[in-house]
Amino acid sequence: MVGKKSMRINYPSSEKVYIPGEINKIQVGMRKIKLHDTVTVDRNGEKVFKKNNPVIVYDTSGPFSDPKIPIDINKGIPRIRESWYGRRKEVIQLPELSSEYGRMRLADPALESIRFPKLHSPLRAKEGKNITQMYYAKKRIITPEMEYVAIRENQQIEVLGLKSYITPDFVRKEIAAGRAIIPANINHPEAEPMIIGRKFLVKINTNIGNSALSSGIGEEIEKALWSYKWGGDTLMDLSTGNNIHETREWIIRNCPVPMGTVPIYQALEKVNGSVADLSWEIYRDTLIEQAEQGVDYFTIHAGLLQKHVELTRTRLTGIVSRGGSIMSKWMQIHQEENFLYTHFSEICEILKTYDVAVSIGDGLRPGSIYDANDAAQFAELYTMGELTKVAWDQFVQVIIEGPGHVPMNKIQTNMKEQQYACYGASFYTLGPLTTDIAPGYDHITSAIGAAWIAWQGTAMICYVTPKEHLGLPNKEDVRNGVIAYKIAAHAADLAKGHPGAQVRDNALSKARFEFRWKDQFDLSLDPDRAMQYYKESSVSDGGYCTMCGPNFCAMRLSKSLHDKCTD
Amino acid sequence: MVGKKSMRINYPSSEKVYIPGEINKIQVGMRKIKLHDTVTVDRNGEKVFKKNNPVIVYDTSGPFSDPKIPIDINKGIPRIRESWYGRRKEVIQLPELSSEYGRMRLADPALESIRFPKLHSPLRAKEGKNITQMYYAKKRIITPEMEYVAIRENQQIEVLGLKSYITPDFVRKEIAAGRAIIPANINHPEAEPMIIGRKFLVKINTNIGNSALSSGIGEEIEKALWSYKWGGDTLMDLSTGNNIHETREWIIRNCPVPMGTVPIYQALEKVNGSVADLSWEIYRDTLIEQAEQGVDYFTIHAGLLQKHVELTRTRLTGIVSRGGSIMSKWMQIHQEENFLYTHFSEICEILKTYDVAVSIGDGLRPGSIYDANDAAQFAELYTMGELTKVAWDQFVQVIIEGPGHVPMNKIQTNMKEQQYACYGASFYTLGPLTTDIAPGYDHITSAIGAAWIAWQGTAMICYVTPKEHLGLPNKEDVRNGVIAYKIAAHAADLAKGHPGAQVRDNALSKARFEFRWKDQFDLSLDPDRAMQYYKESSVSDGGYCTMCGPNFCAMRLSKSLHDKCTD
């Protein structure tokens, strides 16, 4: 059913290393890239070898890149966080699934062949208990997740003998203040904790998911692996096709990064695509169903109100968010307020039970340069701010979704308004695309906007693939989208001065200048492609490339200059 | 020898149109994209058709996209500007080539088979006359070139019934002030005038050129055509291989955009790659040789002095500019000051004779994030400013080259320092790349930086292809590089609020919202690719795409919302 049982992620010249926690019994997996020596020739013509320190980089590939861990996707990856909850008295294991739909699917024998083989009984908070990271943070408790991300964020900085400001307690404070979240559903113990907040590394989200028109479970898992490999920090499953429930289970059980969903999509599938038939009850059951599977954050378009829809009438491209258009239609049909808004407090009750974070969706994000920063967009944003307070009252972790299509000169305003309207909650934007005129290249139009808004403080950027506006991405599109966004995120990390962010750039540039080609490729975001391009055109001895040829290699000339100078 | 005799550029649903001048007898070629009607259904179920205005866009493809003009690359494209000089009493036609090297190549019978068939006698200014656009501008003369670019820049704005601030006299003033240039060698009458200046559309340069390791004449011409097709505004021929002189002649005679070169490359080839043997005499002859062929601007690394080289010793990646490394080596060998600096006034004497513009090269541009904005870079920049004044004294048009590798947070400083140091002369940057860690994707790392610096006022951005640092670009790389830079330039034009820049975005977004797929593709920067991606995954009826499928198409839902509202 689901393709190869064993799937691996390989990085060249890399080793999986684990950095232990000091407060908690945790092991933070990182990737160590080993480098070759620098070789020079001394005055006597003897070769001199000088060591280059390995570079340790952030690693989203989880156990897939550790050859010591057996991988069988029919069993799922190790549940590393399971033992962390053991100590917590606030959690109980349920005898059966709480959602009607979940039980129905489990009872259906026809689904046997596509069901994930092992059922894990869900966990939830005990009655009256709060178990969210925000709650603990406010109680001044440093959870294992907090220490984990503190170690993970610091990368190379300690190798340099420097201390980073990112300590476990710093992480705790940021979460307590609502300026950062750790999406970590207690039912997704396979996920390695990561943090989303403006004072941390910029994260990228990748989307996968089938639609009515495409792709089965095996294909989705392959795309997911592709995302972990290239550096996707979180994974949203936007499936709208068949067997969403079962597909999601497979992915989550093999997913080392937090997973997000837009529950209204599945709710709509449950009523066969008929918006009129959507109801709070169906939606509520969907939240519980997904929360017990382990979804770490939900996109919920609760900030879109009846009065806002009117504001879109003068737009060029109306409502381009799927969730936003669904809820608008529902409000129009029923002439009632958005049930996600009216039931938001109950939604938070459910979320806190599993520590699911909420990503408040911007149903009115602009779909064109023309519509950017208009009244509809900002009206909704302020409602999103109001809902942030509602969620925080229950210690539910919050991020805020943002646009969309925005010209560069209007990007900073988005960031400032969002921080003001939403009390400093983390911003999570889709791009934004800085022009409308390049379908087929929207990973680039949006990487420009994403880099710029991330530098201004957006904590996570949602990738866009070259197929945006045109069709569903394939594996190669996923790769191109992820790398474009890793570039945008890293460019922002450099600009923000994230501790140690530049270590990798320096190591790569040093390798480049010393013609250590292999090291240059191994340190790059996509070693395979760099190597491929080099080989395609290479007829050189390694002391130059075909771009300039031997006589015109500036670095070769420049090196000879320095060599002479020091002799 | 050179492949197909006839080469054409086709754009879908497009027509070549010409807008006549009011002051001069000129015809400005533009591309008119025809759109389909918007079709809606009224209360009675009748279809209602509503016209969509065609969109007129800037066109760099010259006669290649006009089916009415016969193209034979063995004859060269029409010499549209030839008659413009006829009226000028300040120009004379020479009986033979002035450069020794040019005469030598012409006399060599072995080159017969690769020589461009038709020889045009070169033009030059009469003794004691100045014929540069800057000179005329200061004399308050509006040249045909100035009127041409004023019409060309305004695109769609007049269709909207608006008047742009970009009038012929505005163009003149900007050129007189040194804030803009029109690179237009009188020996390159095939070139359609274009303007490089911060108050105009952001331009992009593309590089082609063989190296010792690759490509013949036919291949270079094909790459050049590819550049015009996708929107390259100028073309630099960076050839360093064989038969540079003859290759260049073929390209220039078929080149509707200004061409730039780095003459030191060819000078070095003339001394068989031996830097020690470079001399002012060889370089001088090369300048004249190329100027009489019609090169429109020369990159000259004259700002790099002996004292600056010392400042690069603490760099991570030394000197990465080819020209910079060559001149540094020369200075080291001869223990003399850079002859491009010491002879700069004589260089300008030559340049003004043909109205070749100078692009003062930044030999010390940073080659890594680590080296960005360092003492070496800025020391050279101030010398470049000094040289700007020297050139302006002779009314030679000047642009200033910039980096390179620069993190986002240091980009704005580059722009400000350049404007201050160089008295407002136009900035022309290579990217900059905003991180070092993505070889294979440097069109993206640099498009981010290019968009940002162009918004801040950089007038022209030099493209970077995915093969940067790895090898010579092929045709597909050229396409990807050009489109990435068209995106960056257009994003900056939108952010700067260039008159009418948003017309194309609006038209495309309207087409998108109305499911006029074909119009959407025709309006895009790369219609072929957009269409290809759409078709790859399309199984739809045209009312949605495979990205979301029918039930989840936000635009479809949103439209139904509006339709209801207006009924």
pLDDT tens digits for B468-526? 999 888 889 999 999 999 999 999 999 999 989 999 999 999 999 999 999 999 999 99
Return the pLDDT at A433: 98
Q: Cα–Cα distance between A407 and B501 in angstroms, integer?
A: 11
Scan residues 376-415 of B and list those with Cβ closer than 8 Å to A.
405, 407-409
What is the Cα–Cα distance from B180 to B173, expressed in whole angstroms?
9
pTM of the model: 0.96
Cis peptide before B21 (omega within 30 of 0): no
| Alpha carbons A349 and A358: distance in angstroms, whole number | 12
The length of chain A in residues reads 567
Provide mean pLDDT across the span A402-426.
98
DSSP string, A464-525: --TTTTTS---HHHHHHHHHHHHHHHHHHHHHHT-TTTHHHHHHHHHHHHTT-HHHHHHTSS
Dist CA A151 CA A163 (whole Å)? 11
pLDDT at B1: 46
What mean pLDDT do residues A28-34 have?
A: 96
CB of B436 within 8 Å of a chain A CB? The answer is yes
* Closest C-alpha to A214, from A250, A194, A241: A241
The reply to whether residue A495 touches residue B214, judged by beta carbons under 8 angstroms, is: no
Subunit contact A558:B325, Cβ cutoff 8 A: yes
Task: Say if the Cβ atoms of B471 and A546 lie within 8 Å.
Answer: yes
The alpha carbon torsion through B5, B11, B15, B17 (nearest 10 deg) reads -70
pLDDT of A550 above 80: no
CB contacts of B309 in chain A (<8 Å) are 561
> Least CB-CB distance to B494: which of A369, A545, A561?
A369
As a three-state string, the secondary structure of A131-177 is: CCHHHHHHCCCCCHHHHHHHHHHCCCCCCCCCCCCCCHHHHHHHHHC
Instruction: Encode A335-389 in three state secondary structure.
Output: CCCCHHHHCHHHHHHHHHHHCCEEEECCCCCCCCHHHCCCHHHHHHHHHHHHHHH
Confidence band for B254, pLDDT divided at 50, 70 and 90: very high
Mean pLDDT of B54-71: 96
Which residues 6+ apart lie within 8 Å of B535 measured at CB?
Answer: none
The average confidence (pLDDT) of chain B is 92
Name the DSSP class of B433. B
Question: B404 vs chain A: nearest CA distance in angstroms?
Answer: 13
Pairing outcome for strands B357-360 and B398-402: parallel
Given a contact cutoff of 8 angstroms between Cβ atoms, the answer to whether A460 and A399 are in contact is yes
B325: Cβ contacts below 8 Å, ≥ 6 apart: A554, A555, A557, A558, A561, B318, B319, B363
Report CA A307 to chain centroid distance, whole Å. 32
DSSP tag of A410? G
Least Cα separation, residue A393 to chain B (angstroms): 32
pLDDT tens digits for range A276-300: 999 999 999 999 999 999 999 999 9
**B234-237 and B203-208 strand pairing:** parallel
pLDDT reported for residue A565:
39
- Is A282 within 8 Å of chain B by CB? no
Which residue is it, tokens 């989840």? B552
Beta strands in B312-371 (DSSP E): 357-360
Local structure of B495: helix, strand or coil = helix
Kindly tell me the burial class for residue A17, based on how many C-beta atoms sit within 10 Å of its own C-beta (0-12, 13-18, 19 or more). Answer: middle
- 3-state helix, strand and coil shares in percent for chain B, rounded to the nearest 5: 45, 15, 45
Confidence class for position B543, pLDDT limits 50, 70, 90: low
- Quote the tokens at residue A184: 């970590």
Of B367, B467, B558, the CB nearest to A537: B467
Distance (Å, rounded) from C-alpha B188 to C-alpha B194?
A: 13
- Give residue A407's pLDDT: 98
Identify whether the C-beta of residue B187 lies closer than 8 Å to the C-beta of residue B354.
yes
Let me know: does B294 contact B252? Beta carbons within 8 Å.
yes
CA dihedral A128, A133, A139, A143 (to 10 degrees): 120
Three-state SS string over B89-114 comes to CCEEECCCCCCHHHHHHHHCHHHHHH
Subunit contact B240:A407, Cβ cutoff 8 A:
no
- Whether A1 shows a pLDDT value over 50: the answer reads no
Strand, helix or coil at A558? helix
Q: With contacts defined as CB-CB under 8 Å, which chain A residues touch B533? A: 439-440, 466-467, 470-471
Residue A129 Cα, gap to closest chain B Cα (Å): 37
Of A139, A149, A137, A141, the C-alpha closest to A176 is A137
Is the minimum CB–CB distance between A502 and chain B shorter than 8 Å?
Answer: yes
Q: Return the number of other C-beta atoms located less than 10 Å from residue B332's C-beta.
A: 18
Cα dihedral B283, B287, B289, B295 sign = positive
Report yes or no: B477 and B465 within 8 Å, Cβ to Cβ.
Answer: yes
Confidence class for position B565, pLDDT limits 50, 70, 90: very low
Nearest one of A325, A395, A384 to A357, comparing CA atoms: A395
Do A283 and A339 form a contact (C-beta atoms < 8 A)?
Answer: yes
Distance set, CA B62 to CA A531, A559, B77, B194 (Å): 37, 43, 9, 12
The amino acid occupying position A51 is K
**Lowest mean per-residue pLDDT among A158-167, A258-267, A290-299, B9-18:** A158-167
| Pairs across A and B, CB distance < 8 A | 398
Round to whole Å and give the CA distance between B484 and B543: 29
Report the alpha-carbon distance of residue A436 to residue A404 in Å, rounded: 11
β B91-93/B123-125 pair status: antiparallel
- DSSP code per residue over A241-254: SS-HHHHHHHHHHT
Instruction: Tell me the C-alpha distance between B515 and B38, whole Å.
Output: 9
Does residue A566 have a pLDDT over 50? Answer: no
CA distance A540 to B40: 61
> What's the CA angle centered on A84, arms A79 and A85, to 5 degrees?
100
**Cβ neighbours of B211 in A, within 8 Å:** 546-549, 552
pLDDT of residue A562: 62
Q: What is the ipTM, given to two decimal places? A: 0.95
Average of per-residue pLDDT values in chain A: 92
For residue B558, what pLDDT is reported? 76
Tokens found for residue B344 = 């700069």
Phi and psi for B505 in degrees, rounded to 5? -60, -45
Q: How far apart are CA A540 and CA B530, in angstroms?
A: 36
Residue A558 scores a pLDDT above 80: no
Q: Both tokens of residue B81?
A: 């500007």
- Compute the Cα dihedral for A507, A510, A512, A516 and give only its sign: negative
CA triplet B348, B354, B356: central angle to 5 degrees? 60
What DSSP line would sit under B248-305, residue for residue? HHHHHHT-SS-EEE-HHHHHHHHTTT-GGG--HHHHHHHHHHHHHHT--EEEE--S--
Q: Does B308 score more than 90 pLDDT? A: yes
A491 close contact with B: CB closer than 8 A? yes
pLDDT per position as a tens digit, B417-467: 999 999 999 999 999 999 999 999 999 999 999 999 999 999 999 999 999
Distances (CA, A) of B502 to A366, A368, B507: 15, 10, 9
Token pair, residue A204, equals 């990228």
Say how many residues make up chain B. Answer: 567
What pLDDT score was predicted for residue B564?
A: 47
Calculate ∠ Cα A230-A262-A304, nearest 5°.
125
pLDDT of residue B557: 77
- A18 has a chain B CB within 8 A of its CB: no
Distance in angstroms (rounded) separating the CA atoms of residues A247 and B315:
52
Which of A362, A437, A544, A567 to probe by mutation at the B interface, max B CB count within 10 Å?
Answer: A437
**Residue from the list B324, B434, B562 with its beta carbon closest to the beta carbon of A451:** B434
- Answer yes or no: do B565 and A313 touch at CB < 8 A: yes
What is the C-alpha to C-alpha distance for residues B544 and B556, in angstroms, rounded to an integer? 7
